[in-house]
């Protein structure tokens, strides 16, 4: 179960759909019995957990409906990009059924100044554009044939690199399915793409822990 800090306080946890009932039991054990208002749980000690739909899941209004919907197999597109590396795949439920991984050299930044730095910046920009074009080509080959059956496109890695790939006009139908969250992944490789399937299926939960009263001196 992955955890990450939430902007504005609290934390996010990603829970596999199959583990969600157990997670709810553990939440009640740690924080006391809870009441549910829609998808927001408020425990006896003041802890609050708000459950969110995974990418591609249909609208629900209760936790029980969310559990059923999250467990329903969905076809997801995956696009991971970072610097010159790209990984694209199709996931049917828990299985990665199609994939392609590629790398394209893009130079790192330099501290040099003057004309040398400008030439370097132009070269690096050209390399980044070439990497984005190659990534768009791979995404088109893997994702476009399945776009009508995809519930969502899940992205991960560097947002700028992802945006550059999805800016290709040919990928407009794919980009329209893009989920809001960008997965935090290392440089895309096949193993990273496989791991991203589980992250894409997970139910994100925002948890606010109870405030501990300050001790009196």
Q: Which of 37, 42, 67 is nearest to 53 (CA)?
A: 67
Q: How far apart are the first and last CA of the chain?
A: 39
Q: Check whether 53 has a pLDDT greater than 80.
A: yes
Signed CA dihedral, 68, 71, 76, 78: sign only: positive
Tell me the domain boundaries of the chain.
2-54+203-208, 75-200
Average pLDDT, the chain: 89
pLDDT digits (tens, 9 = 90+) for 183-213: 999 999 999 999 999 999 999 999 998 876 5
Q: Which of 124, 94, 93 is nearest to 109 (CA)?
A: 124
At 128, is the pLDDT very low, low, confident or very high (cuts 50, 70, 90)?
low
The per-residue pLDDT for 3 is: 85
At 103, is the pLDDT very low, low, confident or very high (cuts 50, 70, 90)?
confident
What value does the mean pLDDT take over residues 5-33? Answer: 95
Whether 88 contacts 143, CB under 8 Å:
yes
Topology at the third CATH level for domain 75-200: Nucleotidyltransferase; domain 5 (3.30.420)
What dihedral do alpha carbons 162, 194, 60, 11 form, nearest 10°?
-80
- Bridge partner list, 171: none
Q: Which of 144, 136, 152, 138 is nearest to 173 (CA)?
A: 144
Q: pTM for this one?
A: 0.86
Whether 200 contacts 183, CB under 8 Å:
yes
At 42, is the pLDDT very low, low, confident or very high (cuts 50, 70, 90)?
very high
């Amino acid at each position: 179960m992955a955890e990450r800090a939430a902007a504005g306080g609290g934390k996010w946890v990603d829970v596999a759909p199959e583990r969600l009932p157990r997670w709810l039991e553990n939440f009640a054990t740690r924080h006391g019995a809870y009441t549910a208002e829609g998808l927001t749980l408020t425990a006896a000690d003041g802890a609050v957990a708000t459950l969110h739909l995974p990418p591609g899941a249909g609208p629900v209004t209760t936790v029980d409906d969310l559990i059923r919907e999250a467990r329903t197999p969905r076809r997801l597109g995956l696009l991971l990009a970072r610097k010159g590396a790209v990984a694209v795949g199709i996931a049917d439920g828990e299985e990665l059924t199609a994939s392609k991984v590629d790398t394209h050299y893009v130079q790192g930044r330099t501290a040099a100044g003057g004309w040398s730095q400008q030439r370097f910046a132009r070269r690096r920009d050209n390399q980044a554009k070439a990497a984005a074009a190659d990534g768009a080509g791979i995404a088109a080959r893997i994702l476009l044939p399945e776009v009508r059956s995809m519930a969502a496109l899940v992205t991960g890695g560097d947002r700028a690199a992802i945006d550059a790939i999805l800016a290709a006009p040919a990928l407009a139908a794919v980009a329209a399915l893009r989920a809001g969250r960008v997965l935090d992944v290392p440089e895309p490789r096949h193993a990273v793409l496989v791991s991203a399937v589980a992250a894409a299926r997970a139910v994100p939960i925002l948890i606010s822990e109870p405030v501990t009263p300050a001790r009196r001196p």
